[in-house]
Chains A and B, each alone.
Chain A
Amino acid sequence: QSALTQPRSVSGSPGQSVTISCTGSSSDVGGYDFVSWYQHHPGKAPKLMIYAVSKRPSGVPDRFSGSKSGNTASLTISGLQAEDEGDYYCCSSVGTYAPYVFGTGTKVTVV
């Protein structure tokens, strides 16, 4: 199964909004509402930011939001802060007991 496609990098100034896209197919992103997003800093464990397309785990700021249209999911960070810098990955499951696939990853830079 091929990795989901994400832009290599996005950047924004503090306070701005950035959106990261995650494009798959009708067999993964488009076919199921099981898209999740992870923030990853080198040398640390990834952190779950969004699950089930648009749900935020407890403790994740409401600046982070998720959505999906067709075969493309999106993560939006509103009111960008310096601490939001890092790598972001989307992930999709294709059903019960089925394999998962990650996106190619996007580096977010706060300029």
Chain B
Amino acid sequence: QVLVVQSGAEVKEPGASVKISCKASGNTLSGQWIHWVRQAPGQGLEWVGLINPSGDITNYAQRLQGRVTVTRDTSTGTVYMGLSSLRSEDTAVYFCATEGRVALGPTKSFDKWGQGTLVAVSS
């Protein structure tokens, strides 16, 4: 059973950058498409970005373009999400999730989720 584990909470000042990680416990995220989703306090879920298994394809939510970067270390199976020029509205719980696959291919849905990482932006 794959357990997706994320790094711990971060507190950052406005204008700073943050980088959080996501890895599998008891298995590896290798071969998996990984997505990042966030939820700001009192708000709904928001898709942030994705990365393919080899790390050479990424895509990001339009409103975060230029500030968000998703990368992966294929040697360790760890996936990272970086966000720069932090603003108070970036305060949120950030989740990583694996994209499900069935025999016919990707399901375009998120089947295993990490526990979430709180990123708090405050002066």
Name A residues whose Cβ lies closer than 8 Å to a Cβ of B: 1, 3, 32, 34, 36, 38, 40, 45-48, 51-52, 55, 57, 87, 89, 91, 93, 97-105
Contacts and interface: CB of A to CB of B under 8 A. Distances in A.
Given A45-B114, A45-B116, A97-B57, A52 B107 contact: yes
B26 interface: no
Given A51-B100, A51-B108, A97-B57, A1 B62 contact: yes
A57 B111 contact: yes
Given A46-B110, A47-B113, 20 more contacts: A1-B61, A1-B62, A36-B108, A38-B45, A40-B45, A46-B45, A48-B111, A51-B107, A51-B109, A51-B111, A52-B107, A89-B44, A91-B45, A91-B47, A97-B57, A97-B59, A99-B59, A101-B47, A102-B44, A104-B44
Nearest to B59: A97
Main secondary structure of the interface of B (DSSP, over half): strand
B80 interface: no
23 contacts: A1-B62, A34-B108, A34-B109, A36-B107, A36-B109, A36-B110, A40-B45, A45-B115, A48-B110, A52-B108, A91-B45, A91-B109, A91-B110, A97-B52, A97-B57, A98-B59, A99-B60, A100-B50, A100-B108, A102-B37, A102-B45, A102-B47, A103-B44
Interface of B: 35, 37, 44-47, 50, 52, 57, 59-62, 95, 97, 100, 107-111, 113-116
